[in-house]
Structures are given as structure tokens and as C-alpha cells.
Structure 1
């Protein structure tokens, strides 16, 4: 009976945490809604800056001018509310973690979020101007580049996700080394395959131009090397963090979890 009550209490807490996260997202979205058009204009700035004077984007469906800016406002609201959403997630799982697990999970969550946003910023400020400049420069004479706003949003989101995931490579490398899935020596041996794979992935997810492919593949390789470098410090601490706990330490951890302490 106690186990069932504990399970139900966890479900209730999970529901409350999810509701708080969703409410925070909705509140931020509602606050940003009046500026939905401005947000889309800001998102479209890298392309609009490369179009010839008087160039513009188009909407090929009736409801697209309304729904596309709303989508941008929703995505922006999610990014703004993301720290609070992650806090709710952390508050739910933290009581069940050991101390050494908390020392690992919290920095990984924070750093992975920062790196993903850094990847999006890299795509927006560096990659997109180069890509759109290349695309508009090779347009045949007499062809006006007039991109549909919905297609543009899909394209930009693909770039954001691709570069955001690329910037997560150091985190993936550290986690793999931390849990003994692969050694640093094996990672070094895999360098040639990683380089080839980076350019293959870049060719798939980026536009068909060499510049954007290089701008994705090169950071991926550099971040892979950064992950190997940082993993060295993780390996040095692994033996101490994962040593067998004494009976006294185990009792203290169990008491702490029962009291719900972080």
C-alpha cells in the first residue's frame, strides 16, 4: 500500500511539474504574441539582407501570414521558458539521485542547453548569411528570389536543429567516456571516420553548397576534439566517484532520499 501511495504521489508531482512548465511556456508565448510579426522579421533578416533591393518573401497559402509568425512566437517562447522548464525537470528527478550523480547531471543539463543555443546562434549569425548570399548570387538572370515564408521557416529550423545537435558533440563524448562505453584511445582512433562522417552529415543536412557544408563539418570535428580533451578530466575523477559505497554512506544516502533532501 505504501509503495502504491508513493507511486501515486510521484505521478501527482510529475503532473504538477509538467503543468507548471506548460503554463510558463504559454505565459511567455502570450507575452510575445503581439510581437510575432517582428520576431519573424528578425528571423528572416539574414535572407532579406541578401535579396536585391525591393526583394521580398511571399505567402502561397491564405492562412500562412498568420500561422507562421505564431509558430515563431511559440518556438521563441519555448526557448525563453526553457530554463524554468529544465528546473522543473531537475526538481522532479533530483531527490532520487545520489550526490555524485547530481554533480554529473546538473552540469550536463546546463551545458547541453547552452551549447544547443550556441549552435543556433552560430547558424543564425554566421552560416545563414553565407548560405543565403551564395543562393541569391547564383540565381539566373531575370529570376527573382521570392521564398515562401513557411518553406523558409522549415529551412531555418532544419539548420537550427542541425547546428544545435552538432554543438552537443562534446557532451556526447564526455558521457560515453564517463560511463565506460568507449575509451579515449578508441575515440582518437576513430578520428578519420569522424571526419568523413562529419562531411557526409553536412552534405545531407545543409544546402548543396560547399561553404555551408564546411561550416558544419569543421565545427563538428573541432567539437569532437574538444570532447576528447574534456573527457580526460572526467576519466580522472571516475574512479573516485564510482567507488563502492560503505554501509554507513549507503545509510546516509537512503535517509536523505527518504527525507526528500536534494
Structure 2
């Protein structure tokens, strides 16, 4: 840890530099996505376009600028997702001066693990969760009901689902750092499993669109991730004990 005191203005300048890199990277990738925005939009909407066509429907636009702003959202979402590794790296670089030397070695593992988990969460939402949720909604159709979705509404639903899974899949990383800091012991995490399940279902209700299918599709992977987090915390505690034993012997 760097114990040298730094004026507040230095921290603000450093924060500004990090935000510049984060927003700049996001803007660059969003601009690139904007150049091929129709292809990006079709890629992001892929799990919905096929079923919509299969059921003889079309997405509708009810306001002149709606499709334009939906394309803008598509480019921004694609830019945000692709720029996640840079965002995480800049966040770590900002907080690293306040860490001990042995803690800084987690920089690249943190960026790599968090990025992989975020992309895995988005991929789970894209390939597994949304197709099942959408097929369930389509199965509710009746002969006397005409089903129509606006482009903006469906895209907002999908993007919220993708981001909810991407963020929620960070649970093992959070549990790792809690165990590393000694805040959460694996025994306590295991004992609190039943309470954690309730919290995860409640969090799923907040993060996902307001339907029970989406909530369950998110809560179940979270339960698996929680169990993996308990295992990771046990590994962390065991290694801390092993490294502390030689020091105590000396």
C-alpha cells in the first residue's frame, strides 16, 4: 500500500483520467458498432427475430424516431459490452494505489475472471434464458388475441435481461474478495445458504423484467454460482492458512 498522502485534487484528476479512458473506449466501440448498426441490431435481437417470424409476426414501430433510437441503443449496448475489460482494468488501476503489494497481484486475474463471467452471463441470457422466456410468452397466444411487439419495447426487454445476467454472474468474484478480506467465512456462507436463496430470488425480481419465468431463469444459475463461491472461499481460506503457518513457525 502507498502510505504517501495525496491531496484530494490528485484523486479527482486520477478519477477524471480513468473516466476518460472508460468513456472513450465505450464511445469508440459504440461508434464502430454504429457503422454496422443494422447488423449489430439483428445480432442482438437474434433470439427474438426467428421466433417472431416463425409465428407469423413482425415487430412494429409506433413513432417516427423509434427505430433510430433503438439502433442508437443497440450501438451503445454493444460498445458497453465490448469495452467491459477496459472498464474493469481502469477501475482496478484507480483503486490499486490503496492496496498492499500482495493484493495488487490479483489485477489481471480480476480483470480476466470478471470479464469472462460477465460475457458468460450475457451469453447465458442470449442463448438460454431469453429463448425460453420468449417461447413461453409466445405459447400464451390465443386465437382471439393479436400479438404485437414494438421494436423498442422488445429490445429494452432483451438488453435488460442480458445485462442482468452479466452483472449477476459476478457473484463468485464478490465472494472471493469477501473471503480474501476475511469479511465472509466459508462456514458462514454455507450456513446462510437458505437466506442467500431468498435474497437471490428477490434480486432476480429486481434485475429482470417483471415476469416469474425470467426471475427463475436468473435465480437458478445464481444458486449454482453461490455454491461455487463457497468452494472458492474455502480455497482462499485454506491457502491463507497454509501461507500463515510457515510465518508463525519462523
TM-score by length of structure 2 reads 0.82
CA contact (8 A) 2:205 2:215 kept: yes
Where 1:50 maps in the other structure, the secondary structure is helix
Task: Report the Cα offset of residue 4 of structure 1.
Answer: 9.6
CA contact (8 A) 1:58 1:147 kept: yes
TM-score by length of structure 1 reads 0.79
Where 2:45 maps in the other structure, the secondary structure is helix
CA contact (8 A) 2:185 2:233 kept: no
CA contact (8 A) 1:170 1:226 kept: yes
CA 1:242–1:108 in structure 2 vs 1: closer, same or farther (change >3 Å)?
Answer: farther
> What pairs with 1:121-200 in structure 2 (closer than 5 Å)?
121-200=123-202
CA contact (8 A) 1:131 1:207 kept: no
Q: What is the CA–CA distance in structure 2 between the aligned matches of 1:5 and 1:161, rounded to whole Å?
A: 36
CA 1:151–1:106 in structure 2 vs 1: closer, same or farther (change >3 Å)?
Answer: same
Where 2:146 maps in the other structure, the secondary structure is coil
Moved more, 224-233 or 100-109: 100-109
In the TM superposition, what whole-angstrom CA distance separates every residue of 1:154-196 from its partner, at most 9, and x where no partner exists?
Answer: 2123212322232122122222222222321111111222234
Where does residue 70 of structure 1 map in the other structure?
A: 72
Where does residue 49 of structure 1 map in the other structure?
A: 50
Task: Report the Cα offset of residue 80 of structure 1.
Answer: 1.7
Q: What is the CA–CA distance in structure 2 between the aligned matches of 1:5 and 1:238, rounded to whole Å?
A: 31
Q: What is the aligned-residue RMSD (CA, Å)?
A: 2.8
CA contact (8 A) 1:169 1:220 kept: yes
Give 5+ residue unaligned stretches, structure 1: 246-262
Where 2:159 maps in the other structure, the secondary structure is helix
Where does residue 251 of structure 1 map in the other structure?
A: none
CA contact (8 A) 1:170 1:223 kept: yes
Task: Report the Cα offset of residue 119 of structure 1.
Answer: 0.7
**Structure ID, larger Rg:** 1
CA contact (8 A) 2:70 2:151 kept: yes
> What pairs with 1:1-262 in structure 2 (closer than 5 Å)?
8-51=9-52, 52-202=54-204, 205-206=208-209, 208-210=211-213, 212-238=214-240
CA 1:242–1:79 in structure 2 vs 1: closer, same or farther (change >3 Å)?
Answer: farther
CA 1:17–1:181 in structure 2 vs 1: closer, same or farther (change >3 Å)?
Answer: closer
Task: Report the Cα offset of residue 239 of structure 1.
Answer: 5.0
Instruction: Count residues in correspondence.
Output: 241
Q: What is the CA–CA distance in structure 1 between the aligned matches of 2:221 and 2:6, rounded to whole Å?
A: 50
Task: Report the Cα offset of residue 227 of structure 1.
Answer: 0.4
In the TM superposition, what whole-angstrom CA distance separates every residue of 1:99-139 from its partner, at most 9, and x where no partner exists?
Answer: 11112454234312321221111011011111111111111
